[in-house]
Amino acid sequence: SFELTQPPSVSVSPGQTATITCSGDNLGDKYVCWYQQKPGQSPILVIHQDSRRPSEIPARFSGSNSGNTATLTISGTQAWDEADYYCQVWDSSLVVFGGGTKLSVL
Amino acid sequence: QISLKESGPTLMKSTQTLTLTCTLSGLSLSASGVGVGWIRQPPGKALEWLAFIYWDDDQRYSPSLKSRLTITRDTSLNQVVLTLTNMDPVDTATYYCALRSGSYSGLDSWGQGTPVTVSS
């Protein structure tokens, strides 16, 4: 079955750019989604189709996908961006999640 | 406005069968492109996908749990039901249902989640 690998944690200073990666075999051939989950809350979709943002998501969130790696980029990171982030793909109509990355804003 | 709400037992014992219901409001389960899935999250751990049912009644399951899972829908009630047999303490988790509305390629609406604790 298809697997997605994320770093367990990423740290960033306020106002700087955070980069979270997600890797998988030929991941660039699939569409990647990204979800943000804050403690005690349900996940929310922040990026779909590799780089598209739902209308309510700030433009600070962007995504890309090529080769074996997809990337979620958060520009001008704010304290409230501190959360767990999960990548996800559809693999033959099955749902696959990455293991999640804890973003710390220090 | 689209919303999803999970319901079901909060406490289970080993070997019992869990039945969870997800009630969808604001969108029909039969609408083209719509799908509803179940995802769980053990305390302090990552999201784990369990099952998905599409608008055409196509059902998909996590390979690792397929033998224990059943997902069905009741279009008259706009509900999706998940059953998980032979519950074990390792199945303790918050169980979420989530919607793929078709507007986006991801799971664009999630329920609040329902916690399930399994004791031995």
Give residue B104's pLDDT. 81
User: How far does CA A55 lie from the centroid of its chain?
Assistant: 17
Nearest CA in chain B to A53: B104
Main-chain phi, psi angles of A29, to 5 degrees: -85, -5
What string of pLDDT tens digits covers the 106 residues of chain A?
899 999 999 999 999 999 999 999 999 999 999 999 999 999 999 999 999 999 999 999 999 999 999 999 999 999 999 999 999 999 988 999 999 999 999 9
For tokens 């051939």, the residue is A29
Distance of residue A49 Cα from the nearest chain B Cα, in angstroms: 6
Main-chain phi, psi angles of A78, to 5 degrees: -110, 160
Query: How many alpha carbons fall within 13 Å on the CB side of residue A15?
Result: 0
Distance of residue A97 Cα from the nearest chain B Cα, in angstroms: 7
The model's pLDDT over B76-111, given as tens digits with 9 standing for 90+, comes to: 999 999 999 999 999 999 999 999 998 888 999 999
For tokens 């989604």, the residue is A33
